């Protein structure tokens, strides 16, 4: 079997697929408040996403994650999940997972479990109903917590993703960690990234994970863990509990040397790095050319995958900012 490898000899075996730019929340660090969603004709069809999934799989990609926007608002999303499960049952892929905001989990949890989704990431930045509504614009925390509970009862392993935001949830983090511990959820604490053209506001949201991580380790008596998933988290373990705490610190602790992933947007753009603006557009080839042409573009993308991102957050210099929102690229 072929294996995608970049110029730095990193094996690329993990694809994150954004199935839609749409979302039923408006988290302030993820998308513009007055967002205009893409016209339907610009978005890949379910069949086109499945075709690209098969091509990437033939090229050695064994791990897939569906993202968005919010993947569970995409019409007929189950068709993609069923297809990935078929590939898994045939031994062609190792796993397929999902990142969700949890608003539709109570409806979809049993379907996910039935179709081989063994673990999911749920984005959750506050356990305070008012704070949750503030950062999501109109989200109902009770609905998300209920969805998480239903998924837990279905036997799906849950990891919480929490973006650490200055003067918003930095004082609440220990309560969130305690809640995760009680529920046997792993959690990743994510340093805010300079993605989305909001200039100085992003600087004001940023809280360096470096000092926070030191305080966290000392206060909770955490132990560095060798545990790894497909993502960039560095994990710590409790001395008295199996739940793990992951740290994703794109700015204060670069993790690019182990990067094994690329991202496909819902419009067919292949981003080789979350922190760079370069992409290879697969949509035209998908709709007008041959499978070999698509493969050639993917292989070219590996040649220009950068060694590292250039994320940087400064108050008056926006050079290290990425001029697209997370709902465009996928989480």
User: What total number of domains does the chain contain?
Assistant: 1
Give domain status of residue 77, yes or no. yes
pTM above 0.85, yes or no: yes
Q: Is residue 8 part of a domain?
A: no
pLDDT of residue 331: 58
- 309 φ, ψ to 5°? -80, 170
Task: Give just the sign of the alpha carbon dihedral 271, 272, 277, 281.
Answer: negative
Element (H, E) at 246: strand 244-248
C-alpha–C-alpha distance, residues 22 and 19, integer Å: 9
**Is the CB of residue 77 less than 8 Å from the CB of residue 19?**
yes
Paired tokens of 224: 């560095």
Q: Classify residue 199: in a domain, yes or no.
A: yes
297 burial (CB, 10 Å; 0-12 / 13-18 / 19+) is middle
CA atoms of 241 and 125, how far apart (whole Å): 22
pLDDT confidence of residue 204: 55
Predicted pLDDT at 251: 56
Segments forming the whole domain that contains residue 314: 14-329
Q: Does residue 3 belong to any structural domain of this protein?
A: no
CA distances (Å), 116 to each of 69, 77, 156, in order? 22, 14, 10
Give pLDDT tens digits along the chain (331 positions).
678 999 889 999 999 999 999 998 887 777 776 778 889 899 999 999 999 999 999 999 999 999 999 999 999 999 999 999 999 999 999 999 999 999 999 999 999 999 999 999 999 999 999 999 998 988 999 999 999 999 999 999 999 999 988 888 888 999 999 999 999 999 999 887 655 554 445 445 666 777 788 889 999 999 999 888 877 788 999 999 999 999 987 655 555 777 899 999 999 999 998 767 789 999 999 999 999 999 999 999 999 998 875 544 444 444 444 455 555 666 5
Continuous segment of H or E residues that includes residue 122: strand 119-123
The pLDDT assigned to 320 comes to 43
Q: Tell me, yes or no, whether 1 lies in a domain.
A: no
CATH of the domain at 98: 3.20.20.70
């Amino acid at each position: 079997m072929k294996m995608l490898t970049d110029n730095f000899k990193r094996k690329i075996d993990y694809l994150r697929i954004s199935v839609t730019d749409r979302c039923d929340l408006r988290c302030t660090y993820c998308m513009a408040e007055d967002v205009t969603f893409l016209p339907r004709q610009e978005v890949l069809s379910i069949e086109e996403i499945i075709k690209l999934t098969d091509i990437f799989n033939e090229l050695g990609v064994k791990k897939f994650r569906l993202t968005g926007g919010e993947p569970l608002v995409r019409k007929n999303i189950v068709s993609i999940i069923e297809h990935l499960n078929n590939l898994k049952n045939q031994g062609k892929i190792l796993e397929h997972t999902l990142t969700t905001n949890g608003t539709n989990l109570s409806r979809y949890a049993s379907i996910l479990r039935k179709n081989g989704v063994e673990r999911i990431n749920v984005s959750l930045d506050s356990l305070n109903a008012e704070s949750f509504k503030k950062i999501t614009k109109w989200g109902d925390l009770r609905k998300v917590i209920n969805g998480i509970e239903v998924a837990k009862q279905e036997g799906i392993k849950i990891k919480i993703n929490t973006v650490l935001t200055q003067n918003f949830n930095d004082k609440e983090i220990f309560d969130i960690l305690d809640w995760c511990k009680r529920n046997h959820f792993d959690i990743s604490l994510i340093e805010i990234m300079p993605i989305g053209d909001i200039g100085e506001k992003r600087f004001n949201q940023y809280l360096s994970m470096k000092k926070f991580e030191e305080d966290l380790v000392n206060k909770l008596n955490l132990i560095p863990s060798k545990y790894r998933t497909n993502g960039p988290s560095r994990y710590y373990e409790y001395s008295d509990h199996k739940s793990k705490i992951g740290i994703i610190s794109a700015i204060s602790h670069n993790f690019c040397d182990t990067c094994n992933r690329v991202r496909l947007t819902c419009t067919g753009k292949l981003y080789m790095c979350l922190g760079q603006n370069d992409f290879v557009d697969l949509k035209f080839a998908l709709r007008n050319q041959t499978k070999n042409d698509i493969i050639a573009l993917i292989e070219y993308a590996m040649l220009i995958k950068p060694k590292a991102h250039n994320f940087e957050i400064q108050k008056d210099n926006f050079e290290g900012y990425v001029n697209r929102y997370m709902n465009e690229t996928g989480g």
